[in-house]
Structure 1
């Protein structure tokens, strides 16, 4: 077996094993089910009506409060303040002043134009209740009923509908000399600003700590549970990013006074904490430069996941006032939007997007893809353009590799002569080959490098396509209306020409009845192989024969945008290798090698 074929086999098998291992441990997720519209429940069920706990002594130097419970009927009957912006719709409940109903006008559950818009927050009583609470934890001289909490009945004192140019103000008095106000505003995207203020006219000194809470009843429906994607708590504390999966929260070491498992961090200057889903996120963000306690908590009695941002206690003498402003992000994880918030002072906010271990590749790859898309306006062609740029960057290495491969072909007669001269002396053969390589300045391992470099790029692009919302439901042409999902075509719908859908994604039938893109991928790999004659060794020949079609079925379940990249990459690689090898005096006989593949092997002579 010549060294060129050894290198090619080694690189191909290594690439295959890595991708196969990735496919085994990180299989593409099942297609996202369209959630049913949550129905308002008319009966109080155990756990559903229970609200999140207010911050405990573990999270603040304020005194602990008991868990508040709210019947679903009370939530349904409470007055609401509408939220209406160009990108958001929803409402704020005056029961607790909770932001608990929020939908994204720009996003739908599926590609169908009449599909429901995505709902991020939902009130108690709905499946998957998810909401934001604000209040004051009681300290010196105060009890739980002296401060606003989850069951406080607020009054609307200013504004009618929350919009980008119209904030609303809620008011409440404890009847003992403390007056509370909460002003809520929202920008043109997904950022709310909540200003909590209190005036002390009680005649004495009081202590109380402002807080914000995000509470989620149970794990989110349709959670991917996919290793490549983080869903759960995401937080930043003075430059340190922490990601905690829902399944890890019951194992927190600390248990607060109410029995909930918690993890507490003291932030000195800059931080934020919240929950991240595949494409959506809610985040509590104290003002930059503020110290606060950051809490992630799980209450197994109520099955409530909770994050908290608790600011230092304010001590107010009679006649004094205090005011604090925090922010709440609730919306889509759009790169440009989140980057703008980071530039405005929210340090590390761009890392709320799950860039993964290869962040040093995924970030620049996404930046480049995003800017190409801004120029072209079509994500499919943008992926092809990205591939062209990546191949241009790697061209110097590819050129050296293909020149080395061409020289290896030229050395075949001399290598055959060395084999005949060495006979069975393998040491002599290896020594002679090394001297030949040194003399001719040939590196036999150079052919592996371009393939090995493609592996991290392949995984990084897969991460970008799977994780970033900019790829969600983005169309190319014809049947390819969502490049973040597998190819929807197959022989069952005549590769997209028929008006009906192909096999259901994620099923065995879909794995077998691959679409046109995986088929083109197999063909591109097959043609790339045919730049060289099939090896004489039967084992090598078998591996070469099966490899393109194994990849075709294996990658057929991946996002179609990734398959578009791989086809483009193979096509460019074939063209580069063919032209470079011809410039070095070696003329690949592609058509002859294809004919040889389908030529029937001669039968062995009978003895």
Structure 2
């Protein structure tokens, strides 16, 4: 969550809670060819292969590595070779590996597009994943021979990609299991011929691509995410520097790199792994470079882990609890999602709102119309609370002449004024907090709506109508060479008329103009989906106030409520 959004939360929250008090005041208040003859013949045989569970105690070094890691010696080649690409194509993505180190070079997601309309590459150019080192010896440039150079699967099909390499009496084998309809894959790494006490490392070098074409925003959202010892943490470049925070301790469940919408993660099934992380950035280009290392003692025991390269979507992240062989482990990968502050309260509210929003989209295909309908439904839900708040505020306004008289009677004696005011409230059956207390239960809904509309990948590159071509980005039109965001201006107009209708006292005249300007500033660079929702809600609130004016308690001027 960036600083502007946090500031928006704080300021809007202050407005919502303190508006009734103000009204009272102004009225009076991110080699040789190996032998593949013994490879399994079918996926069924693959699934029958099991690796015995290690019995190592979890070890994670909490100390920040102050010195750069020593240079690693390159493993000796049996023969010269030219690196070749190896492709794995599923229904969801195309992964490109290199025979140099058997490293992953590219993941192109088929169901998402880049800014030019092409299938989306999520790996930053020049990055490398799944490189291997053994103690101080690097295998990242050693020839890894694949058993196939192109694999294509569809539906529920599973298949393995197998790489083998040999160097100085050691044999390294990577087996990566894919399923066509899953973003997850499962890898087994076996090293034979190595010293029993050797340590094997799996590396991720580089980062994720800036998929949104906004380096500044990408820098804000890009970070390393970890789950260790039952705690989920986020680490930006500064946190991973020489003077950064200590690394987490405890059993590592997963470690990944996320951007606003996408995640690359290593999922670790047991507690034998350690991790090291470093990060650096270029202040001029805003580019960030991360390195993550997963380390475990070899002990003649294969290393197993899961891999996830895909979107940050609640249901997808929850589904990663089950690996491709049907084993279940609670990962809590969804904890990387932005639920805002007060997480124990905000998370369940956000999930309910998100699932309701997506369920509505199953009926209505246009997300813009979904937002409009959703705003109506939310208005219906919060109507009783808003109504109660408006009625309470109206009663307070009815007491203003009497309160003014008390102030005149006691002059500057604030103690007597307060005593008589409390007595007056009791006699009239009025709660001075009645205008703001009904608004408090709405706050989790308000903040959850910010989280959903500002960060939901389901809104990414979704069109509404007219000039609104991406509900996850600010709406844009160009007038005279200047970029103009129309929706915040429309929202300001609706806010102005709402204020104009309700603020009758001359002392409130400035607020009629100040509040629309303030809200325009807050929402100017926010997603058009969020601003569309807020504008629609303003219109609905205007309608509610009209209805209130026709009721017995609403004949008086009602204060302006700036929230759902």
Q: Same fold (TM over 0.5)?
A: yes
Q: Is the 8 A contact 1:578 1:588 kept in 2?
A: no
C-alpha change, 1:432 and 1:544, in structure 2 (3 Å) is: farther
Write out per-residue CA displacement over residues 304-360 of structure 1, whole angstroms, 9 at most, x where no aligned residue: 52112222331x4xxxxx423212112222222112113642512111223332543
Q: Is the 8 A contact 2:340 2:447 kept in 1?
A: no
Aligned to 2:393: 405
Distance 1:249 1:553 in 2: 34
Aligned to 2:494: 524
Distance 2:537 2:310 in 1: 35
Aligned to 1:130: 127
The partner residue of 2:310 within 320, 331, 348 is: 331
Aligned to 1:85: 90
State how 1:35-74 maps to structure 2 within 5 Å.
66-67=71-72
Distance 2:531 2:438 in 1: 18
The partner residue of 1:569 within 537, 544, 559 is: 537
The partner residue of 1:354 within 338, 343, 364 is: 338
The partner residue of 2:293 within 281, 297, 308 is: 308
SS in 2 for 1:557: coil
RMSD after superposition: 4.1
Aligned to 2:32: none
1:444 aligns with 2:427: no
SS in 2 for 1:121: coil
Deviation at 1:224, TM superposition (A): 4.8
The partner residue of 2:231 within 237, 240, 245 is: 240
- Name which of structure 1's ranges 546-555 and 213-222 shifts more when overlaid on structure 2: 213-222
Distance 2:18 2:458 in 1: 27
Deviation at 1:374, TM superposition (A): 3.1
Deviation at 1:553, TM superposition (A): 4.9
C-alpha change, 1:399 and 1:150, in structure 2 (3 Å) is: same
Deviation at 1:84, TM superposition (A): 1.3
TM-score by length of 1: 0.69
Q: Is the 8 A contact 1:265 1:295 kept in 2?
A: no
Deviation at 1:99, TM superposition (A): 0.7
Deviation at 1:558, TM superposition (A): 2.1
Write out per-residue CA displacement over residues 57-104 of structure 1, whole angstroms, 9 at most, x where no aligned residue: x999xxx9733679xxx9994112112112212411011000112211
SS in 1 for 2:297: coil
The partner residue of 1:212 within 202, 215, 235 is: 202
C-alpha change, 1:541 and 1:196, in structure 2 (3 Å) is: same
Q: Is the 8 A contact 2:318 2:333 kept in 1?
A: yes
C-alpha change, 1:545 and 1:276, in structure 2 (3 Å) is: closer
SS in 1 for 2:492: helix
Q: Is the 8 A contact 2:371 2:533 kept in 1?
A: yes
Deviation at 1:196, TM superposition (A): 1.4
SS in 1 for 2:122: strand
Distance 1:223 1:67 in 2: 36
Aligned to 1:342: 321
Q: Is the 8 A contact 2:123 2:208 kept in 1?
A: no
SS in 2 for 1:86: coil
SS in 1 for 2:472: coil
Distance 2:241 2:150 in 1: 41
Q: Is the 8 A contact 1:96 1:151 kept in 2?
A: yes
SS in 2 for 1:384: helix
Q: Is the 8 A contact 1:531 1:588 kept in 2?
A: no
Distance 1:305 1:526 in 2: 47
The partner residue of 1:293 within 265, 268, 274 is: 274
The partner residue of 1:274 within 216, 234, 256 is: 256
Question: Which consecutive unaligned segments of at least 5 residues does structure 1 have?
Answer: 1-10, 20-54, 123-127, 255-262, 317-321, 493-501, 504-508, 594-607
Deviation at 1:562, TM superposition (A): 1.4
C-alpha change, 1:76 and 1:247, in structure 2 (3 Å) is: farther
The partner residue of 1:149 within 125, 139, 142 is: 139
1:583 aligns with 2:551: yes
Aligned to 2:4: none
Write out per-residue CA displacement over residues 571-603 of structure 1, whole angstroms, 9 at most, x where no aligned residue: 33333344345433442579xx9xxxxxxxxxx
C-alpha change, 1:375 and 1:251, in structure 2 (3 Å) is: farther
Structure with bigger gyration radius: 1
1:118 aligns with 2:109: no
1:284 aligns with 2:266: yes
Q: Is the 8 A contact 1:233 1:245 kept in 2?
A: yes
Aligned to 1:170: 163
Q: Is the 8 A contact 2:112 2:120 kept in 1?
A: yes
Q: Is the 8 A contact 1:166 1:185 kept in 2?
A: yes
Aligned to 2:173: 181
Write out per-residue CA displacement over residues 29-54 of structure 1, whole angstroms, 9 at most, x where no aligned residue: xxxxxxxxxxxxxxxxxxxxxxxxxx
- Name which of structure 1's ranges 457-466 and 237-246 shifts more when overlaid on structure 2: 457-466
Aligned to 1:52: none
State how 1:539-558 maps to structure 2 within 5 Å.
540-558=508-526
Distance 1:99 1:447 in 2: 58
Distance 2:12 2:122 in 1: 44
Distance 2:12 2:191 in 1: 68
SS in 1 for 2:385: helix
Distance 2:266 2:516 in 1: 49
TM-score by length of 2: 0.73
Q: Is the 8 A contact 1:486 1:558 kept in 2?
A: yes
Q: Is the 8 A contact 2:471 2:527 kept in 1?
A: yes
